[in-house]
Chains A and B, each alone.
Chain A
Amino acid sequence: MHATLCDLMTDLIQNAVEADAAVIELIIREAEENLEFEVRDNGKGMNSETKAKATDPFYSDGRKHAHRRMGLGLPFLFQTAEAAAGEASIESEEGRGTVIRFCAKTRHVDLPPFGDFAGAAAMMLTLLPEGEMTIARTVNGAGYTLSRRELEDALGDLRSAGKLKLLKAYIASQEEDLRKAG
């Protein structure tokens, strides 16, 4: 299992990268009652047969590792949602992209901790070799957005140690501001 919700999100972003997406959106909404997030990508998508198997931990499409018979990313997500009185879903169309949604009860005892979002978001924004990745984060109605293109415009290539450190500090300051607003 993944230790934090940020780990679950990172895993979904990595799936989108491997689906050859050029645009990835992460939308996170935290409120008193529910915590929701969704990942939308314009990658290669799945046909109905693959989509039906995607939540089976003993299924992998075998494209990357020919003899692999396991794929645990999406099963982890569904298991976590169910454990925390929520649900997860997959909407996908071959050639058009995929939307993965997660929802759970914010204060459920079995919901993993949220995790360090500043570090996780810095990783997620730089997972895609090139293209656009946006993050829209809302906590109790207040929020901020991050756009990889805007950040690259400000910093240049984001993937050097010095730039990543700045990126992480930037996101941490948005998080701090968000907590003050809440």
Chain B
Amino acid sequence: MAKLTLDDLRRLRDEKKKVMSQRSAEGKRAEIVIGMGTCGIAAGAKAVFDAFLDEMSKAGIEDVVIKQTGCMGLCFSEPTVEVLCDDMPHVVYGNVDDKTARRIVREHLAGKALVSDHIFDKPSTDIIKNAGK
């Protein structure tokens, strides 16, 4: 790969902007928050971040916001990931590894179904029972 410059980044941003403006007609917000306290980092939050980026790239998802926060107080279930989508219940997933992160992208973000076996903070029992469908 040739060394990229800031001007290259501007050009790539403009190319992506054209694609994104065609896709963002829905106007729905989606945000992922990864726990990056000492506990999250030690449990593999970096690999989870990489998996989210890679799987979203494969799925053509550009506009989901990925944020990071400190310890959420759930050290025993790290890495933890909070997912906030406008049309879905807000959930915190626990014990998220590379594979689970990819499932969250495919099933939760793209498929609009909760990844029930990794939900730490249950939104409500009826939603879990129906796996978010």
Contact = CB atoms under 8 A, between A and B. Distances in A.
Contacts of A4: 46
Contacts of B20: 162
B46 A161 contact: no
A177 B6 CA distance: 15
Given A1-B42, A116-B50, A172 B66 contact: no
B55 to A, nearest CB: 9
B25 interface: no
B4 A73 contact: no
B46 A160 contact: no
B111 interface: no
24 contacts: A1-B42, A2-B41, A7-B42, A7-B46, A11-B41, A64-B70, A64-B71, A123-B46, A126-B66, A127-B68, A154-B9, A154-B10, A155-B9, A160-B63, A161-B52, A161-B53, A162-B16, A162-B63, A165-B53, A165-B57, A166-B9, A166-B12, A173-B3, A174-B4
A159 B38 contact: no
Interface string A35-76: 000000000000000000000000000001100000111001
Interface of A: 1-4, 6-7, 10-11, 14, 17-18, 64-65, 71-73, 76, 115-116, 119-120, 123, 126-127, 150-151, 153-156, 159-166, 168-170, 172-174, 176-177
B42 A170 contact: no
Contact of A76 (B8, B12, B38): B38
Size category of the binding interface on chain B: 35 or more
Contacts of A3: 42, 44
Nearest to A10: B41
B12 to A, nearest CB: 5
B9 A65 contact: no
Nearest to B2: A173
Contact of B66 (A1, A64, A71, A164): A164
A17 B38 CA distance: 13
B67 to A, nearest CB: 6
A160 B4 contact: no
Contacts of A2: 41-42
B68 to A, nearest CB: 5
A40 to B, nearest CB: 20
Nearest to A172: B1
A4 B38 CA distance: 13
A159 B71 contact: no
Interface in B102-130: none
B73 A163 contact: no
A83 B22 CA distance: 53
A170 B70 contact: no
